[in-house]
Structure 1
Amino acid sequence: MKKFLAISLFSFGLMANASEQLPIIQTKYNADPAPMVHNDTIFLYTSHDEDDAHGYGFKMQDWLLYSSTDMVNWTEHGAVASLKDFSWVNKDNGAWAIQVVERNGKFYMYCPIHGNGIGVLVADSPYGPFKDPIGKPLVWQKEHWDDIDPTVMIDDDGQAYMYWGNPNLYYVRLNDDMISYSGDIHKFDSAPEHYQEGPWLYKRGDLYYLAFASTCCPEGIGYAMSNRPTGPWESKGYIMRPTERTRGNHPGIADYKGKTYVFGHSYDILRLETPDHHERRSVNAAEMEYNADGTIKEVPYWKDIELKQIEPFNPFRKVEAETMAWGFGLKTRPCGARNMIVTNIDNGEYICLRGVDFGKKGAKKFLASVASTKNGSRIKVRIDSKDGAVIGILPVDSTGSDDSYSLLSCKLEKVKGVHDLYFTFEGDGDDLFNFDYWELK
């Protein structure tokens, strides 16, 4: 009942205000966003707050991956690494904030294991699989628990740096192999003003930036600037000012298709479900701009701005069902090797994709791969809103089992141009069917 109450509140209130930007992922709780651009795609690595995390205790066991080409429709790729990938880690909690960087065709994931230092994994693809190349921590100062939240930047001269730390700030110079370092661990005598944790190091032009989670609580995103990758750092204020609407934040910043985006996290999805506090966070994103002198224009709180779509979405291809702009109430899970499905589909829930381009001729057919043990369910294909015009109805009957998928199809009424696309789900009660992928033809 609680989930349906939240969906009802959202459907009749927040969705009506398109400029009120809620978290970009709703099917899982995630935090500590780490964007990475590779080729034409923005990859978003996150930590993962489990659904049963209770109160002020974190429950974090693996790291997730999402991707997008338009900033509003995101595809989930599931867990790409976990604590189990480190043979030297003997714990099932503590998978905190990571960052992934690419060098010479390899993808390096820097992973804090709370209380056990910082490890590193490597893969040949941004999707993984990620493996531990050294079999031990890259950094572990056993005299304290400061070693969390690594960030890595490769400078123009090829020298790579890793920063990290809470409440103190540290850095090392990484070697070319990206899995070892030379010299000592450097500790700053004093961190930038308001610094708490979650540093994000990057370069723009000749200037170096260090964004970070500011002193809690409430917690915003502060930043500092320098003419050198190793400081000294001059505090410049806030990218996002602290607000009572959230008690935590964590920055990730990336340039993508001519714009700069700042990512963080909030408790805004949790607030749709309960007023009680639990460490179940959700990732947000916003466009970020610079002043002429290189300083950053302050970004309003996530819900006070609109994240605009970069380019229309192409539906004339196989689209994974876990690609969406909105899907609150739904869940995702693995199904086979490197495949995800949408599950926990209940009567009245829906998927929304923003800015779908039907082209000049429109689509004639909707195809969907589904699996069900129930008869009498339906997917209604709508445009422009969850209650918008129905352009097609796909009946979904039993396929024999929840893992026996059938490719079903229905005719579509002709629609041209760009519209938001909704799949609304109807049937008897909860767990109507599982949804693998879809396509328009």
Structure 2
Amino acid sequence: MNQANPTPFTAAVGKIPHAGNPLVSHKFGADPYALVFDGRVYLYMTNDVLEYDADGNVKDNTYGNINKIGVISSDDLVNWTDHGNIVAAGPEGAAKWATQSWAPAAAHKVIEGKDRFFLYFANNASGIGVLTSDSPIGPWVDPLGEALILRSTPGVEAVTWLFDPAVLVDDDGSAYIYFGGGVPEGKDERPDTARVMRLGDDMISVVGEAVTIPAPYMFEDAGINKVGGTYYYTYCSNFFKGERAEGSPPAGEIAYMTSDNPMGPWTYHGSILKNPERFFGVGGNNHHAVFSFGDAWYIAYHAQTLSKALGVSNGYRSTHLNQVVFHDGAILEIQADYEGVRQTKDFDPYVRAAAATMAWSAGVTTESIVRAGDPSNSVQAVADIDNGDWIALSRVNFGAAGASSFQASFLSEAGGSIELRLDQADGELIGTLDVPAASDAAWMEEDTKVTGAQGVRDLYLVFKGEPGAKLFKLGHWQFG
């Protein structure tokens, strides 16, 4: 350890520097869906949260209490900003008619000259709702006051699980929603529970009748992409244990079909992503979203890697990212791993950064803090900070001249300090920001001098203070 840092620091769990997967380790996030807008990719995720039995032991994820949707975003695919949770369902949620919010899907469309965002979600397996916003991070409202798709919707009466939406806005502005899942008894090979339906121009209504997608061994998890003039429908196969027809997808894998029309007919091609068990030694269901960002294609999917590292792999899932390659119209088989994807650009430390932006972390959580009693004026802060905890940013470009100062905003508790270190948690010390203790809940800002921060380096913010005390909550930071 560095002589200037005699106090041990917290060990990373679940996501180890310099791994890219899972994307974050301070929270779970399942069933990812990607929306690319204005140079950033936003991932919307089912908000898995640990459940406990009467003795305080972690029990299996029942999904029954999930009524929030997590949102993270990045402009480089390695440093991710936590935007907190959307309270989608339940008495305090935007859609008070719904009890759960699973497997979200997001879409953007310009309507009457304005950017509009739409967030579709499953109310367990009984219906699909929609929320709207003027921003990809909200606030979100329920424009209907009821579900968008129910069992009374034409063409969906025989769908076992009415959930897992995906949405395509085509080049001509027309939009389509894909959904469904489940396996009727005796129909493992051809469940016929996948559907596609036209959305209205307003994106909050449906048109006509839902059409069946004949996906072999369909289980759940709709995905839709258009590449060139071809539509790619992707889904997760079921777990039928009997003999499968030759060329069918194995159990729990992501498979794909293609068409030259968003409503079909569809041609089956094969499997592209094996079950997480094959890569990470822990299985469960498989859920994905394929998206393009910059000049490449990627797949977001979930696996129980963080929960496995925590010793509680009871159905609690985390989002991962790997690259996708299209070749001669086919999707090549995808290799999932802990390494993840390459960072697409350097991080700029001279722009005010939300503290809840990190590539790696240890010991911390995040918390949405409302300022001045105004819910629209909230900060997603790094919280639950103890002595030795840290957050880190990948490939921070300080430039040839280097940084000379560092400023941060915080809500102080016991107080402490922020050590600024390069490349690792006990790396070269370039500055220390003192955080005074405070008895009130007022935001404070302090700054300090920095020396030795030049070029492109990983940056660690290491938190120090009285052992056993909660030190402070960090809101924003910026170098000068």
Q: Structures share a fold, TM > 0.5?
A: yes
**Residue in structure 2 matched with residue 299 of structure 1 by the alignment:** 334
Deviation at 1:163, TM superposition (A): 0.8
**Residue in structure 2 matched with residue 237 of structure 1 by the alignment:** 270
Pick one of 460, 464, 468 that aligns with 1:422.
460
Deviation at 1:115, TM superposition (A): 4.2
The 3 A distance-change label for structure 1 pair 216 and 434 is farther
**Residue in structure 2 matched with residue 350 of structure 1 by the alignment:** 390
**Residue in structure 2 matched with residue 221 of structure 1 by the alignment:** 254
**Residue in structure 2 matched with residue 3 of structure 1 by the alignment:** none
The 3 A distance-change label for structure 1 pair 26 and 216 is farther
**Residue in structure 1 matched with residue 315 of structure 2 by the alignment:** 279
**Residue in structure 1 matched with residue 165 of structure 2 by the alignment:** 150
Residues 314-341 of structure 1, C-alpha deviations (whole Å, 9 max, x = no match) = 0102111101111243111111133211
Matches within 5 A, 1:35-434: 35-52=34-51, 54-58=59-63, 59-83=65-89, 84-89=93-98, 91=99, 94-104=100-110, 105-141=115-151, 145-167=160-182, 168-188=193-213, 190-191=214-215, 193-216=216-239, 219-244=252-277, 245=281, 246-274=283-311, 276-291=312-327, 293-303=328-338, 305-336=339-370, 337-375=377-415, 377-401=416-440, 403-427=441-465, 428-434=467-473
Maintained 8 Å contact 2:34/2:289: yes
Maintained 8 Å contact 1:313/1:355: yes
Maintained 8 Å contact 2:363/2:389: yes
Maintained 8 Å contact 1:195/1:222: no
Deviation at 1:404, TM superposition (A): 2.2
Deviation at 1:394, TM superposition (A): 1.7
- Extract unaligned runs of 5+ from structure 2: 1-8, 53-58, 183-192, 241-250, 371-376
Deviation at 1:237, TM superposition (A): 2.2
Q: Which moved more, 1:413-422 or 1:231-240?
A: 231-240
Maintained 8 Å contact 1:114/1:145: no
- Extract unaligned runs of 5+ from structure 1: 1-5
Maintained 8 Å contact 1:60/1:95: yes
Maintained 8 Å contact 1:65/1:78: yes
Distance of 1:434 and 1:220 partners within structure 2: 41
Maintained 8 Å contact 1:72/1:354: yes
Deviation at 1:81, TM superposition (A): 4.0
Maintained 8 Å contact 1:358/1:417: yes
Maintained 8 Å contact 2:13/2:25: no
Residue 96 of structure 2 aligns to which amino acid in structure 1? Answer: S
Maintained 8 Å contact 2:253/2:273: yes
Deviation at 1:243, TM superposition (A): 4.1
Maintained 8 Å contact 1:81/1:129: no
Partner SS, residue 262 of structure 2? coil
Distance of 1:175 and 1:204 partners within structure 2: 23
Residue 16 of structure 2 aligns to which amino acid in structure 1? Answer: M
Distance of 1:176 and 1:383 partners within structure 2: 51
Residues 50-96 of structure 1, C-alpha deviations (whole Å, 9 max, x = no match) = 2336314123111122111111111111123410212323x3xx210
**TM-score (normalised: structure 2):** 0.83
Maintained 8 Å contact 1:106/1:123: yes
Residue 283 of structure 1 aligns to which amino acid in structure 2? Answer: T
Deviation at 1:99, TM superposition (A): 0.8
Distance of 2:438 and 2:131 partners within structure 1: 40
The 3 A distance-change label for structure 1 pair 345 and 9 is closer
Partner SS, residue 269 of structure 1? helix
Same amino acid, percent of matched pairs: 31
Equivalent residues, number: 423
The 3 A distance-change label for structure 1 pair 81 and 415 is same
Maintained 8 Å contact 2:321/2:340: no
The 3 A distance-change label for structure 1 pair 7 and 348 is closer
